[in-house]
Amino acid sequence: MGSKRRLSLVWLVMIAVVSVMAAGCGSKAGTQGEAKAADELTVAVGSEPETGFDPIAGWGRYGSPLFQSTLLKRDDDLNIVNDLATGYEVSGDGRVWTVKLRTDAKFTDGHKVTAEDVKFTFETAAKSGTVVDLTNLQSVEARGGDTVIFTLKKPQSTFVALLATMGIVPKHAYGSDYAGHPVGSGPFKLVQWDKGQQAIVEANPDYYGDKPFFKKITFLFLSEDAAFAAAQSGQVDVAYIPSAFSKRKVAGMRLEDIHTVDNRGIAFPYVPSGGTTEEGYPIGNDVTSDIAIRKAMNYVIDRKALVEGVLEGYGSPAYSPVDGLPWWNEQTVIRDADVEKAKKILRDAGWADRDGDGVAEKGALKAEFTLLYPSGDVTRQSLALAAADMAKAAGIRIDVEGKSWDEIKKRMHADAVLFGFGSHDPLEMYMLYSSAYRGVDYNNSGYYANPAVDAWMDKALSAKTEAEALAYWKKAQWDGQTGASALGDAPWAWLVNLDHLYLVKEGLDIGKQRIQPHGHGWPVTDNIAEWKWKD
């Protein structure tokens, strides 16, 4: 790309930023030239939530719900601590969870938060059938004003994660327009939402916890390019940027590099071809259903090179969907970039390049398959192309294709797909590897199944506490003989974990940042009530 074209693109981005900021003129956001108070912030840290600010529709799963409280929450070390709850107990059989509530919490409309509101929230979420999975919830009982009793159909250690992410909504003020006018008991309240442009929040004066330093925060809904331009022009205090901009300095701002479990990996069709879904979409692939192909792919990939070459060094090699989390099995780290081992795995399984075209064969079958990625995602495109180039050294040919998500959904059971996941809830690992989730949404798209892995994960789910479940989650990845990692069945070739990069104004303290989940939502806001200017 020539320098004149680059300059033109920069100006286009700058014009877009000015247009967004100008749209707020005359509103509570103020004009561009207006001085901002020391207790105000302007940030561009993520896209606009498609379904608004309703926890029942998924708001707050990847970051703080801001306007709502949760019963529990995770601290900086991902330990479970109290929030709206003062404590909880689990029955001996693991099915009954009794939660005690604090009595000083109020919604922003002045109504007291009660057990009835908690009951209403969870019952409504269970009936809605949205992204919040409450299929195991049998009943919720409100006992008095400060006790909630959850009864599960069967024990579920991951239920604690739902208690830590589900924002509590008011029974008296919840309706069809709630997503745009949220009422909650969290540290902030929404005062203005200009759809497609910005959201303005103010500190909740009645919040029961530590009061936020910042009294007003404006969230701009900008693309990553526009957010970077806004940082350059001094319009924002925090901006989420892609790794491609990481080397470019911005006066008065520092780069915050935050580690994540926001992973990217290749999901392989695990079964041979021949099946179809109820919709008639094909299932299975005769090449990737061979474990030798999947294992060779895992060993031939140079993950460190992907981090350096594609992510500009801002990331880490990925070996599972849960790297760095308490339930990760560190034994799953393999010695990758091992071309000779990959070749030997294929050779031992009967794959060899007999016709000299650089691609191994096994009978009439060529070691080649298609790898899909969502078109428009430059990072996934680059990872897919780089992985395909690396695979050549082992004698595997990969055809890389960018497609819409609608097209990927039709083909993802028969073609490999470069997906992204990452959550603070181990239930996500269950959905990726469990035979019960074969072909369900985007989860176990390859139709992977291993009875031993299922058994370990069932034990993890049936554990009474998250701590008790940890050993079982780890064994599901590798128990010394089998597992869902590259050491075992290798249903995936996990590639990298992306670091999340933010430009932050000098002097702004955004606190200790925990390992962030997948980039949906605004994960950096998890501790936003603690942000402040340094003394």
324-362, pLDDT tens digit by residue? 999 999 999 999 999 999 999 999 999 999 999 999 999
* Rounded Cα–Cα distance for residues 330 and 351 (Å): 31
Distance CA 494, CA 266 (A): 6
Mean pLDDT of 189-205: 97
At 455 the pLDDT is 98
Confidence of residue 61 (pLDDT cuts 50, 70, 90): confident
| 29 has a pLDDT exceeding 50 | no
pLDDT band at 376 (very low <50, low <70, confident <90, very high): confident
Given pLDDT bands bounded at 50, 70 and 90, which one contains residue 519? confident
Per-residue pLDDT tens for 240-253?
998 889 999 999 99
Considering only residues 68 and 8, tell me which one the structure prediction assigns the higher pLDDT: 68
Instruction: Output the CATH code of domain 263-498.
Output: 3.10.105.10
Asked if 502 and 258 count as a contact pair (C-beta separation under 8 A), the reply is: yes
**Nearest to 326, CA basis, from 396, 424, 218:** 424
Structure tokens at 205: 């004066």
At 460, the pLDDT band (50, 70, 90 cuts) reads: very high
Provide the whole-model pTM.
Answer: 0.87
**Residue 169 main-chain phi, psi, to 5 deg:** -105, 155
Superfamily of the domain at 68-184: Periplasmic binding protein-like II (3.40.190.10)
The domain locations on the chain are 1-59+186-260+499-535, 68-184, 263-498
Name residues whose C-beta falls within 8 Å of residue 56's C-beta, 6 or more positions apart in sequence. Answer: 121, 124, 125, 128, 130, 132, 169
Tell me yes or no: is domain 1-59+186-260+499-535 CATH 3.40.50.11540. Answer: no
The CA angle 9-12-17, to the nearest 5 degrees, is 130
Average pLDDT, the chain: 92
The per-residue pLDDT for 521 is 82
Asked if 1-59+186-260+499-535 and 68-184 have one fold, the answer is: yes
**pLDDT higher than 90, residue 464:** no
Residue 5 has pLDDT above 60, yes or no: no
| Predicted pLDDT at 213 | 96
pLDDT value at residue 339: 98
Would you say 71 and 83 are in contact if contact means Cβ atoms under 8 Å apart?
A: yes
Residue 35: pLDDT band (50, 70, 90) is: low
Q: Which amino acid appears at position 410 of this protein? A: K
In the predicted structure, residue 298 carries a pLDDT above the cut 50: yes
Between CA 528 and CA 531 the distance in angstroms is: 5
Distance, in Å, from the CA atom of 445 to the CA atom of 416, rounded to the nearest integer, reads: 9
73, 61 contact by CB (below 8 A): no
Q: Residue 287 pLDDT > 50, yes or no?
A: yes
Q: Which of 478, 495, 496 is nearest to 487 (CA)?
A: 478
CA distance 181 to 159: 28
Q: Are strands 85-90 and 80-82 parallel, antiparallel or unpaired?
A: unpaired
% of the chain surpassing 70 pLDDT: 93
Of 17-26, 33-42, 112-121, the least confident: 17-26
Grade residue 131 by pLDDT with cuts at 50, 70 and 90: confident
The answer to whether the beta carbons of residues 185 and 105 sit under 8 Å apart is yes
Given a cut of 90, whether residue 393 has pLDDT beyond it is: yes
Q: Encode pLDDT of 397-410 as tens digits.
A: 999 999 999 999 99
Confidence of residue 11 (pLDDT cuts 50, 70, 90): very low
Per-residue pLDDT tens digits for 132-174: 889 999 999 999 889 999 999 999 999 999 999 999 999 999 9
Q: How confident is the model at residue 1 (pLDDT cuts 50, 70, 90)?
A: very low
